[in-house]
Structure 1
Amino acid sequence: MVHSLSRRFFISALAAFSASPTVARPVDRSLRPVARPGTPTLPKAETIETLLARAKLSGGLSCAVADPHSGEILEGRAANAVLPPASVTKAVTALYALDRLGPNHRFRTRLIATKPVQNGVLQGDLILAGGGDPTLDTEALAQLAKTLKASGLREVRGRFLLYAGALPYLRQIDDSQPDHVGYNPAISGLSLNYNRVHFEWKRAGAGWGVTMDARSANYRPEVQISRMAVIKRQVPVYTYQQKGSTDHWTVASGALGKGGARWLPVRRPDLYAGEVFRTLARAHGIVLPKEKVVKSLPGGTTLATHQSPILREILRGMLKYSTNLSAEMVGLAATQSGGKSPSSLRTSGQAMTRWAKQRLGMQQAKFLDHSGLGDGSRLSAQDMVAALTTAQARTQLGPLLKQITLRDAKGKPNTRHPLKVVAKTGTLNFASSLAGYVTAPDGRQMAFAIFTADDKRRRVLKKDERERPEGGRAWNRRSKSLQQTLLERWGGVYGG
């Protein structure tokens, strides 16, 4: 609950073949594996039920481990039970985007002139046209401004227009999240800095000095599209109100301490990008009128273009940092590539669900978004290993997954652990997931999926409890410990 947030916590918070028939067969009990002759096992190859009892983890468990080439499930427990996949959803989104857009796809952000530039003067309009790039940042806008100057443009006598229609505008990813969490921003075809604004405060006499800027490595342009006021109170820590096109925030003085910073979500990313570009252009002597959004893209001549990294690299970053905005934007773009523009994340998630059933053999899958942030998505371990054992996943997804370092008996990272794991993690309130590939000491690779969730505790959470629910951190630690012991069991039983 908000009133339980300590100052200490507040400050810390700142800083292609189908699946085989074997995979399709429901697995709802622990199979009895037999260790292969000559294959060493862990000292105690305890059953899944024993490991689960020791974890003292409330809620449900769905897990499965399979041979990645044949698709044969080696062992599972309630493998066909559906649970919230959390950010493991992003692994499916990566496969969806790779299939629909291609690994070398790039997103373009352009500056377009509606009339010719003559003697450095544009009599027509200048358009900043977004192309759905989830990685566009202030550095990229600064380079566009520099290129525009180098083209010879000195003056714009028409309008400064913004086009964000490459993707549908959505005010936020999930409306059940607290207003202030940076991982739940708006979505737009023209986005900037993952649609977050940098809020910083410093003690100044009896009060605090605050800034709201579009910070990057080399630039700190302040913005007016998002504003902050410090209010003398203890709770709530934040309040939010949208007035017109401007985000108005207040923060409790009692939570600020001497200084700090955090990223806050932006609800009008198109106007945010436009304001920042206008500031950067002014630094090059090009004064632009106040930005205006247009719904259709006028024709004209492209004066400057910024290209995103190739999709494969965007997805690698998305999987490593679990970036919700990247997942939603590439997922929407993948759906849109089929010729229909989705009106919501739900309709786009449903399109990905149909694709996953057809291409990956995920018969029980239900996706309502592309990041896993929303509550309605459901996935079983059986379906996830069905996806992971396709040739597409092994060759395209596997190399993009993050290496997971397992821990020693004291809970410290153990870089010498005999098991090597590449996977996607997922964490929601009282839901934790892990899916990917584990390599045993003898070199044998296995595909696995582990989903845990306590739906009863999830259902009773209030909106203001979702950033740090009581008991959530301890529950998550127990789940992650169970995940490691399951991997160690499988490595010991099925590999040397």
Structure 2
Amino acid sequence: MFHRTLSCCLLVLSLLPSSVMAAGFPRLSSLTDDGFRISAEARLLGTGDRSDEILASLSPSLSLSPASVSKVYTAAAALDRFGPQHRFTTRLVSTAEPGPDGVLGGDLVFDGGGDPALTSEDLWRLVQRLYQAGVREVTGRLVVSQWRFGPVDCITTDRCEARSRVDNAYSALLSSAGVNFGSWCVNVAPGSAPGVPATVTGCDSKVLLPGIDNRVDTKAANSGTQLSALRLTEGGADVVRVSGQISTNSHPRDLYRASAAPAEQTAQLLMAMLERAGIQVQGGHTTSTTKPLASARELAAVDGEPLQEVLLRTLNYSNNFMADVLALDMAAGPRPSLEQGGAAIEAFAAGIPDHGPLTLRSGSGLTPENRTTASGVNSLLAYMFAQPSLFPSFVAGLQSPSNGVMRFIRKGPSSFQDRVMVKTGTLNEPVQVRAMTGYFRTRSNRWGAFTVLVNGTESTPYLNWTMVLERLSEDLAALIEAH
């Protein structure tokens, strides 16, 4: 009789709609009716004698693509490996020494230190320190060395296409000697009068870097501004083609596009800065994958921002270049691949209690093959919550929906807006992915963690963030208010 009753109950449960079966996620689970695959879990985090308490779940062990939610793994692994105050160092070295006349009789080598956040400002500081060291002329070449890693093989369509042409910055190519997140910046300002071409210059140098193909017209005041930019590589040189219009009363606009070769980009910018500082390089510039000789002496060096500042930018702006460079910094062995960077993060996650399977082919999530589960991500969040020296730097990289830099998350009830910190993930190819993870605070001020991974299939309809956020924010707000 017992077995017959149990069978009947199981049959009834199997016939219930998914929204009934998804405890705690009644609204979110309605997406399964259109064929979307969802892994979701919310839990209260244990403290002291308390263990974690699952509040809601929907296939929490289903392995799905996390898209840029992958970056929380990269951030956690980097903090665990390096610590919040770690700084990456970039150096100028040479086997020669400057003479009393300021002449350096040999090559000047830029030793790329794998700083994910190296900027033009850092290059200028480096040049100033070289000048302070007494160097006024280099008889040899400027050699930009990316011996740690780079150029890194592309394993996604976006990055492979970016080697020849690109209309975005998110697919920037990778190098340990990259600057400005592997992207060129061009500035577009209105011309002197309607009907004349706009003024388009590089953001970082008086020299036109990159090359510019200006197709922007100046229009009358209040005519509106619409700009597009495409970076092309022609004859081995990068050119940014800018098209559209800008009104006479418009503010200048900065546009960013990935460069074809980050180390070459660094070499060109550095050459322009050396010249501006009055340091002549007679032999031109080149790039190299060879490590500087052990006998090379440091002439100038600059330390990057502390890792906690790097992670704030990496997570807030979901910067793929920064995340993948960090992953490569953690990889074992010489000249690692992107997959080896992912493997280093997998090794870190393997030590997290109750995490389960994880596949990371990159630290950014730009690779659609990345796989994890809602339960696994929450185990990571619980682990970081229990690390008092690392947690403040980790959680600082997440966004409050009401105050975050990404405006599209400013949806839902006040409990969601003000009591949640999140990291989002988005992919559109080969299938739609909308993912979100983070922490929440209940009305009783208990800390909780949640993760939602929504994946489409070839046959599911278009998935936008509004469809996910409207449902998720209501479900999370109900959990927050109930506890």
TM-score between the two structures when normalised by the length of structure 2 = 0.79
Instruction: Sort the Cα spacing of 1:207 and 1:173 in 2 relative to 1 into closer, same or farther, 3 A.
Output: farther
Instruction: Sort the Cα spacing of 1:414 and 1:137 in 2 relative to 1 into closer, same or farther, 3 A.
Output: farther
Q: Report how many residues are paired.
A: 427
- What is the CA-CA distance between 1:418 and the residue it aligns to? 8.4
Alignment of 1:446-485 (within 5 A): 446-456=448-458, 475-485=464-474
For 1:455, the aligned partner's letter is T
Residue 319 of structure 2 is aligned to residue 323 of structure 1: yes
- What is the CA-CA distance between 1:456 and the residue it aligns to? 2.3
Alignment of 1:42-441 (within 5 A): 47-53=24-30, 59-69=36-46, 70-119=51-100, 120-170=102-152, 174-176=156-158, 179-202=166-189, 204=191, 206=195, 208-209=197-198, 211-215=200-204, 220-228=205-213, 230=215, 241-251=232-242, 253=243, 255-258=244-247, 260-289=253-282, 290-296=284-290, 297-298=292-293, 299-336=295-332, 340-341=333-334, 343-359=336-352, 361-391=354-384, 395=388, 396-397=390-391, 398-405=394-401, 420-429=419-428, 430-441=432-443
SS of equivalent residue, structure 2 residue 351: helix
Instruction: Sort the Cα spacing of 1:268 and 1:452 in 2 relative to 1 into closer, same or farther, 3 A.
Output: same
- What is the CA-CA distance between 1:93 and the residue it aligns to? 0.5
- What is the CA-CA distance between 1:435 and the residue it aligns to? 1.1
Contact 2:69–2:423, Cα closer than 8 Å, also in 1: yes
475-484 or 48-57: which moved more?
A: 48-57
Instruction: Sort the Cα spacing of 1:199 and 1:172 in 2 relative to 1 into closer, same or farther, 3 A.
Output: farther
Contact 1:319–1:400, Cα closer than 8 Å, also in 2: no
Within 1, Cα distance between the matches of 2:28 and 2:209?
54
The gaps in structure 2 that reach 5 residues or longer are: 1-17, 218-226, 404-408
Identity of aligned residues (%): 23
For residues 387-408 of structure 1, the C-alpha deviation after alignment (integer angstroms, 9 at most, x for no partner) is 112256653244333242359x
For 2:176, the aligned partner's letter is G
Contact 2:421–2:439, Cα closer than 8 Å, also in 1: yes
SS of equivalent residue, structure 2 residue 474: helix
Instruction: Sort the Cα spacing of 1:51 and 1:422 in 2 relative to 1 into closer, same or farther, 3 A.
Output: closer
Contact 2:106–2:140, Cα closer than 8 Å, also in 1: yes
How much is the aligned-residue C-alpha RMSD, in angstroms? Answer: 3.3
For residues 202-257 of structure 1, the C-alpha deviation after alignment (integer angstroms, 9 at most, x for no partner) is 55565634535243xxxx4444455435499xxx9665543454223445x4x445
- What is the CA-CA distance between 1:117 and the residue it aligns to? 1.1
Within 2, Cα distance between the matches of 1:428 and 1:418?
24
For 2:127, the aligned partner's letter is A
Contact 1:320–1:402, Cα closer than 8 Å, also in 2: yes
- What is the CA-CA distance between 1:196 and the residue it aligns to? 1.1
Q: Which has the higher relative contact order, 1 or 2, with Cα contacts under 8 A spaced 6 or more apart?
A: 1
For residues 299-336 of structure 1, the C-alpha deviation after alignment (integer angstroms, 9 at most, x for no partner) is 32111110012222211221222111111111111113
Instruction: Sort the Cα spacing of 1:419 and 1:148 in 2 relative to 1 into closer, same or farther, 3 A.
Output: closer
Instruction: Sort the Cα spacing of 1:210 and 1:271 in 2 relative to 1 into closer, same or farther, 3 A.
Output: farther
For 1:68, the aligned partner's letter is L
Within 2, Cα distance between the matches of 1:201 and 1:171?
32
Within 2, Cα distance between the matches of 1:268 and 1:124?
25
- What is the CA-CA distance between 1:171 and the residue it aligns to? 6.2
SS of equivalent residue, structure 1 residue 332: helix
Instruction: Sort the Cα spacing of 1:400 and 1:201 in 2 relative to 1 into closer, same or farther, 3 A.
Output: closer
Within 1, Cα distance between the matches of 2:156 and 2:345?
18
Instruction: Sort the Cα spacing of 1:471 and 1:93 in 2 relative to 1 into closer, same or farther, 3 A.
Output: same
Contact 1:67–1:389, Cα closer than 8 Å, also in 2: no
Within 2, Cα distance between the matches of 1:411 and 1:113?
52
Within 1, Cα distance between the matches of 2:413 and 2:179?
37
Within 1, Cα distance between the matches of 2:349 and 2:311?
18
Contact 1:90–1:372, Cα closer than 8 Å, also in 2: yes
Contact 2:438–2:451, Cα closer than 8 Å, also in 1: yes
Instruction: Sort the Cα spacing of 1:149 and 1:346 in 2 relative to 1 into closer, same or farther, 3 A.
Output: same
Within 2, Cα distance between the matches of 1:58 and 1:308?
46
Within 1, Cα distance between the matches of 2:402 and 2:21?
25
